[in-house]
Amino acid sequence: MRFAIPLGVFVLMAGLLGYGLTLDPRKVPSVLIDKPAPAFSLAKLHEPEKVLTEKDFLGQVWILNIWASWCVSCRAEHVIITRLAEKKLAPVIGLNYKDQPKDAKRWLQELGDPYDASLMDIDGRVGIDWGVYGVPETFIIGADGLIKYKHIGPVTQESLDAEIIPMLKQLTS
């Protein structure tokens, strides 16, 4: 009996750990799915005198890609986001997260600018409202203003082909 309780606790902990290791860390459930896109009012990176809000996108499906010039994964993802933007399935809006405007502009000039608009979230408050864990993250927002999809981490060609493009086609047809 003296060993039964510690052995039972060990078996339970090992079982929970084993189950946790089978989960995909990119499939973190978001409480924002099917909820309204969080409110924001942000200046555009290239035209800081112009401000966009989530209401500017009502009535259309759109993509929000959260990125930063200091983000190594964002650099790896950039070519895929460019391919997505070239398909013209929906406007691709960049949310430049916790970055300096001069660094963000230089990064886009160097790699190319796939965004219909880039918005500046210098202090990261809007990212927090969107439940950002880290960059990059990508959201698909429906014409009704509800978040339909969240991708954590860099978008890959596989996730683009298997998840994002089918969702966009479904929402825009």
Diameter of the chain by CA atoms? 73
55 domain residue, yes or no: yes
16 domain residue, yes or no: no
- Give me the mean pLDDT over the 39-65 stretch: 97
Question: How many domains does the chain divide into?
Answer: 1
4 domain residue, yes or no: no
DSSP percent split of the chain into helix, strand, coil, nearest 5 = 40, 20, 40
**What pLDDT, on the 0 to 100 scale, is given for residue 1?**
67
Q: What percent of the chain has pLDDT over 70?
A: 92
**What pLDDT, on the 0 to 100 scale, is given for residue 23?**
60
17 domain residue, yes or no: no
- Give me the mean pLDDT over the 132-151 stretch: 95
Number of neighbours of residue 123 by Cβ within 10 angstroms: 10
3 domain residue, yes or no: no
Cβ-count burial 161-173 (b if 16+ within 10 Å, e if not): eeebeebbeebee
- Give me the mean pLDDT over the 133-138 stretch: 93
| pLDDT tens figures, 34-46 | 999 999 999 999 9
> 162, 160, 135, 150: which is closest to 82 by C-alpha?
160
> What is the residue-averaged pLDDT of the chain?
92
Question: For residues 141 and 64, is the Cβ–Cβ distance under 8 A?
Answer: yes
Question: For residues 73 and 154, is the Cβ–Cβ distance under 8 A?
Answer: yes
133 domain residue, yes or no: yes
91 domain residue, yes or no: yes
Question: For residues 80 and 50, is the Cβ–Cβ distance under 8 A?
Answer: no
CA distance 12 to 5: 11
Q: How far is CA 89 from CA 29, 59, 72, in A?
A: 25, 14, 26
**What pLDDT, on the 0 to 100 scale, is given for residue 32?**
86
| pLDDT tens figures, 144-160 | 999 999 999 999 999 99
| pLDDT tens figures, 86-131 | 999 999 999 999 999 999 999 999 999 999 999 999 999 999 999 9
Structural domain span for residue 106:
27-172
**What pLDDT, on the 0 to 100 scale, is given for residue 144?**
97
Q: Residue 55's domain is classified under what CATH number?
A: 3.40.30.10
- Give me the mean pLDDT over the 54-70 stretch: 97
CA distance 150 to 26: 10
Structure tokens at 170: 């479904």
148 domain residue, yes or no: yes
Judge residue 49's burial from the number of C-beta atoms within 10 Å of its C-beta, 0-12 exposed, 13-18 middle, 19 or more buried: exposed
